[in-house]
């Protein structure tokens, strides 16, 4: 059974059939339509048609044949049609039935087809359009074990949350591409921990704010696994506080480009590798997208809100290709950023959190590992908030 992503606009299929008296009799036996125009030669000869005419729906039934056998083929369901009957079809006419893909709706798993039937003289006897749906793949095919090695790129994976995510995914059996920008030794150490535990990992350098380096990173990743299955957009710079009176638009653009722009660029490059087999994209967002954000963090707040919006939109766009897109939104976490907070602020945040604790990097990694797993195969467009209950929606 073909996938919806296998079809392209302009794709065409044809079949040929010669109408015989036996065809007409079979149609009469099936439907009970024994109109003498179709069955009584003398009556039909005396009519304005000057001879027996085949049932119009007999000709149209071959559209069903081409749908079920050729385009889309097995597993297709004819949803709707609009048909114009242009000329009569007679016994011994040889029909050419043609269907052409007009539009592919990946999320709905459906195709719009233009259909036509011409006779042996090249004259069009029928013209129409129809909508066709591809049914879901059989359960046995969905649940068949995977033997291909599946790679996951984790950006900014040399330390903190990114390193914890890389280690968790390595432990789950994925080939982990540990991206770093400047901390090569730290990235190699993360890989060493994964390999020592029996996993596979490779350090790959790339400044993900530079599209050419992103492209090179993805191509390198493809060399280390059978398929690129996942992407974790984790990389983010240090939060720089700005008083509004001192904030320039360029500061906002810089932060937005660094987080949303880089994530988008990574997604654009991995999606072609995922379309044949599906995949998972996880954006690391933030609690600031849901609660009253720190006022001096405006560029950061806007960027994280943009990542959340990117998730929701791309879940719609890519879902038909079997690609899931989700966000994991940490609260204040005992790693990089939290270490810059005054101890009093950290304690207050703990006390204001229902679980009375901050998350640690492994908590975030666990949520990402779940989203990457087959257990989350029906989760897309969602935000998993890992903040001890501080934000509930």
Each residue's pLDDT expressed in tens, for the chain with a length of 393 residues: 688 888 999 999 999 999 999 999 999 999 999 999 999 999 999 999 999 999 999 999 999 999 999 999 988 999 999 999 999 999 999 999 999 999 998 778 899 999 999 999 999 999 999 999 998 765 544 444 455 699 999 999 999 999 999 999 999 999 999 999 999 999 999 999 999 999 999 999 999 999 999 999 999 999 999 999 999 999 987 777 788 888 898 998 999 999 999 999 999 999 999 988 899 999 999 887 677 677 777 888 898 999 999 999 999 999 988 999 999 998 876 675 545 555 666 566 656 667 767 778 999 999 999 999 999 999 999 999 988 666 655
Q: What domains sit in the chain, N to C, each tagged with a CATH number? A: 4-139 (3.10.129.10), 145-386 (3.40.50.720)
pLDDT for 348 equals: 67
Kindly tell me the burial class for residue 42, based on how many C-beta atoms sit within 10 Å of its own C-beta (0-12, 13-18, 19 or more): exposed
Identify whether 300 is a catalytic site residue: yes
User: Cβ(234)–Cβ(154) under 8 Å?
Assistant: yes
333 forms beta bridges with 359
Is there a contact between 131 and 111 (Cβ–Cβ < 8 Å)?
Answer: yes
In the chain, count H helices and then E strands: 14, 12
- Sign of the Cα pseudo-torsion (262, 266, 269, 274, in order): negative
**What is the model's pLDDT at position 344?**
63
- Whole-number pLDDT of residue 24: 96
What is the reported pLDDT for 144? 45
Would you state the pLDDT for residue 390? 65
CB under 8 Å to 135, separation ≥6 — which residues?
Answer: 75, 76, 77, 109
């Amino acid at each position: 059974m073909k996938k919806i992503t296998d079809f392209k606009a302009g794709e065409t299929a044809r079949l040929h059939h010669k109408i015989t008296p036996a065809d007409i009799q079979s149609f009469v036996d099936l439907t009970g339509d024994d109109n003498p125009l179709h069955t009584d030669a003398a009556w039909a000869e005396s009519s304005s048609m000057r001879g027996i005419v085949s049932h119009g729906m007999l000709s149209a039934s071959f559209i069903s044949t081409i749908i079920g056998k050729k385009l889309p083929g097995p597993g297709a369901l004819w949803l709707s049609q609009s048909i114009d009957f242009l000329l009569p079809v007679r016994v011994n006419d040889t029909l050419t039935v043609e269907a052409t893909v007009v539009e592919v709706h990946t999320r709905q798993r459906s195709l719009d087809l233009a259909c036509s039937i011409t006779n042996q003289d090249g004259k069009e006897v029928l013209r129409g359009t129809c909508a066709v749906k591809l049914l879901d793949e059989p359960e046995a095919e969905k649940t068949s074990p995977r033997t291909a090695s599946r790679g996951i790129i984790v950006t900014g994976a040399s330390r903190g949350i990114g390193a914890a995510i890389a280690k968790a995914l390595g432990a789950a059996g994925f080939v982990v591409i540990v991206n770093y920008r400047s901390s090569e030794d730290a990235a190699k150490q993360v890989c060493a921990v994964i390999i020592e535990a029996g996993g596979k990992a490779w350090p790959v350098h790339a400044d993900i704010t530079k599209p050419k380096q992103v492209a090179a990173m993805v191509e390198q990743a493809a060399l280390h696994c059978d398929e690129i299955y996942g992407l974790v957009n984790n990389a983010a710079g240090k939060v720089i506080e700005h008083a509004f009176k001192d904030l320039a638009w360029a500061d906002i653009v810089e932060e937005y480009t660094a987080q949303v722009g880089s994530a988008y660029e990574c997604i654009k490059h991995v999606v072609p590798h995922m379309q044949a087999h599906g995949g998972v994209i996880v954006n690391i967002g933030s609690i600031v997208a849901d609660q009253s954000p720190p006022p001096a963090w405006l560029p950061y707040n806007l960027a994280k809100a943009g990542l959340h919006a990117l998730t929701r939109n791309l879940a719609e766009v890519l879902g038909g290709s079997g690609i899931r897109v989700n966000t994991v939104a940490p609260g204040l976490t005992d790693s990089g950023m939290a270490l810059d907070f005054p101890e009093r602020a950290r304690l207050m945040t703990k006390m204001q959190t229902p679980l009375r604790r901050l998350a640690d990097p492994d908590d975030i990694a666990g949520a990402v590992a779940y989203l990457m797993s087959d257990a989350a195969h029906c989760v897309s467009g969602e935000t998993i908030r890992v903040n001890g209950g501080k934000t509930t929606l």
